[in-house]
Amino acid sequence: MLEALSAFIANYGYLNLFILSFLASTVLPLGSEALVVALIYKGFNPFAVVLVATSGNYLGSCTTYYLGLKGRPVLEKFLSPSPEKLEKSEKLFKKYGLYTLLFTWVPGIGDAITMVAGLMQLPFRYFSVLVFLGKFGRYFAIAYLTVFFSN
């Protein structure tokens, strides 16, 4: 069983990482960090792993942002966000502004922040740059620490 899983990761590692990273940023209770670490340990290029994970997670956030642009009824239909998380994210967004988007990688509130950015009709160019940078920073840190501690 372990050999089959190892072969599956080796053969479809980047694709699996992209899909998992995408889904993890659309309020599904998933995480992609363990796969990032596993791929690096399996010898995958750390920079490519970071770019694939970042791209998938960023595009998932764009999907969540888009649903936010469509309004609360659409969000509730497709993602069922908790009202508490949305309210907490709205308060953070109003208090700290755009730069809250740098923290969309934080578990528990990150997805709600992207929803709120859409609900507040934040221009996509600001959303895009800040979310990508935040997510890249997270995956870069995970990859760096993995490489650092594996030597």
Q: Which residues span the domain enclosing 140? A: 2-150
In the prediction, which pLDDT does 52 show? 98
Q: Is 106 helix (H, G, I), strand (E, B) or coil?
A: coil
Give me the number of domains the chain comprises: 1
pLDDT band at 76; cut points 50, 70, 90:
confident
Between 107 and 124, residue with greater pLDDT: 124
Query: Mind listing the pLDDT tens digit for each residue in 3-47?
Result: 766 666 667 899 999 999 999 988 677 889 999 999 999 999 999
Query: Mind listing the pLDDT tens digit for each residue in 88-110?
Result: 778 888 888 888 999 888 877 88
Where residue 27 falls (left for φ over 0; alpha for ψ -120 to 50; beta otherwise) is left
In the prediction, which pLDDT does 10 show? 67
Could you tell me the CA-to-CA distances from 67 to 24, 64, 115, 143 in Å, in that order? 16, 5, 7, 30
Residue 40 makes CB contacts below 8 A (sequence gap 6+) with 46, 49, 143, 146, 147, 150
